[in-house]
């Protein structure tokens, strides 16, 4: 336990304020993902799954969550969260991955549990959506094999379309980031997030 000479009452008031602010962030993130889900559902996509990225999700369990083998980060499953959709149309199969990243300063490059006090400042970091788009006309898509190749491409996150071959089938992939400050209203959400998803679905 870290023991520091702090005003405990003041610090706990900060915790309460932080949780209330987190609710506002989570509400915004949920609204964005709900809009995306409705948009994709209208185009034949189905929601596939969601999961935390930086920690393991802890279900209800008889094992204590506070033991040393767990991180305190385990209590923050929406800090970095992934949602996945799948859809098919006219022989084209698509997957959409959206990662909600609350803080790009998260640094897990050191051993052990990442320490927020060592992160760069909140003002220097960003909150963003990271979008991954996959597309193929393979009859039975082998997404894992395609990603195994794509993950070795150093430029895979530059926003451009990349292609690989699995057997005789082409797989296309595009990855781009959206700062949440750029998604301030419905017009921006449609232009920067939803329409690019639709163009990808249509192969444009």
Written as tens digits, the pLDDT of the chain (204 aa) is 555 556 889 989 999 999 999 999 999 999 999 999 999 999 999 999 999 999 876 666 677 888 888 888 888 989 999 999 999 988 999 999 999 999 999 999 988 999 999 999 999 999 999 999 999 999 999 999 999 999 888 898 899 999 999 999 999 999 999 999 999 999 999 999 999 999 999 986
Q: How many whole angstroms separate alpha carbon 156 and alpha carbon 151? A: 7
Q: Is pTM beyond 0.95 here? A: no
- Going by C-beta distance under 8 Å and a sequence separation of 6 or more, which residues neighbour residue 83? 33, 36, 47, 49, 50, 97, 98, 100
């Amino acid at each position: 336990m870290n023991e520091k000479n702090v005003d405990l009452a003041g610090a706990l008031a900060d915790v309460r304020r932080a949780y209330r602010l987190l609710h506002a962030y989570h509400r915004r993130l949920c609204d964005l993902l709900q809009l995306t889900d409705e948009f994709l559902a209208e185009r034949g996509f189905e929601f596939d799954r969601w999961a935390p990225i930086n920690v393991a999700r802890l279900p209800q369990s008889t094992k204590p969550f506070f033991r040393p083998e767990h991180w305190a980060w385990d209590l923050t499953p929406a800090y970095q969260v992934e949602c996945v959709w799948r859809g098919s149309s006219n022989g084209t199969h698509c997957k959409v991955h959206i990662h909600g990243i609350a803080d790009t300063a998260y640094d897990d490059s050191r051993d052990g549990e990442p320490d927020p006090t060592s992160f760069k400042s909140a003002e220097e970091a960003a909150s963003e959506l990271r979008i991954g788009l996959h597309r193929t006309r393979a009859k039975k898509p082998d997404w894992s094999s395609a990603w195994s190749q794509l993950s070795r491409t150093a430029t895979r996150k530059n926003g451009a379309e990349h292609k690989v071959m699995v057997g005789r089938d082409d797989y296309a992939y595009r990855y781009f980031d959206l700062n949440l400050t750029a998604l301030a209203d419905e017009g921006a959400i449609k232009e920067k997030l939803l329409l690019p998803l639709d163009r990808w679905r249509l192969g444009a």
